[in-house]
Amino acid sequence: MARSASAPERGLTRAAARARRAALAVAAGLLCAVLGAGPGAIATSAAAPPCEAPASLGTPQRLESADVVVLFRTVPAPIEIGKHFAVEAHVCPTPPIGTAAGFMVDARMPEHRHGMNYRAHVSRRPDGIYVAEGLLFHMPGLWQLVFDVERGGRMERLMKDIDLE
C-alpha cells in the first residue's frame, strides 16, 4: 500500500521516517531544556517519579517525562481498525494536580495530518484510574495516541506511536 509522506521524508522507509521524527523530537526537547535553563547553563533531566501500576491495569505500557508518568492499556487490546476502544490510564505522581478535566486523551495521524473522527470522553473512577471512551481509529497507518496531563497550570504531552496495518 502506497503511503504519502511530507517532502523531507519522501524516499525514506516508514521505519527510517519514524526514527528521523523520534531523533528530531529528542533534539527539540534537549534544545528547549538547554534554552530554558538560562545562559550558560546546561539542563539535566530529572528522573521520572516512581510509579506502580494498580492491579486493575494488568501489565500497562509506560510513557514518561521528567515529572509525569502515564501507565496505560487499551481495551480491547490490540486495537482494531474501525472499532471503538477505550484507554485506561494511571497518572503519577498521584493524585495529579487538577481533576479529570486535567487529563485528556486524543489521537492523530501525523503522516496524514488529521486526527480521529471522534472525541474521547474522559472520566475518573473511584480507584483513580482515568478512562477515555469512544476512541476509534478509522483507517490503517501510523497513529499517535496523545495524553495531555495538566499539572500546576501547565500541560505535559506524552505520545505513543501505534502502527495499524
How does pLDDT run across 100-146, given as a tens digit for each residue?
448 999 999 998 888 888 789 999 999 889 999 999 999 999 999 99
Buried b (16+ CB within 10 A) or exposed e, 87-103: bbbbbbeeebeeeeebb
Average model confidence (pLDDT) across the chain: 76
Select 47-164's CATH number: 2.115.10.20, 3.40.50.720, 3.40.50.700, 2.60.40.1930: 2.60.40.1930
- Give the pLDDT score at 52: 87
Burial of 130 (0-12, 13-18, 19+ CB in 10 A): buried
Higher confidence at residue 44 or residue 103?
Answer: 103
pTM for this predicted structure: 0.68
Helix (H) or strand (E) holding 147: strand 141-151
Upstream peptide bond of 50 is cis (omega within 30 degrees of 0):
no
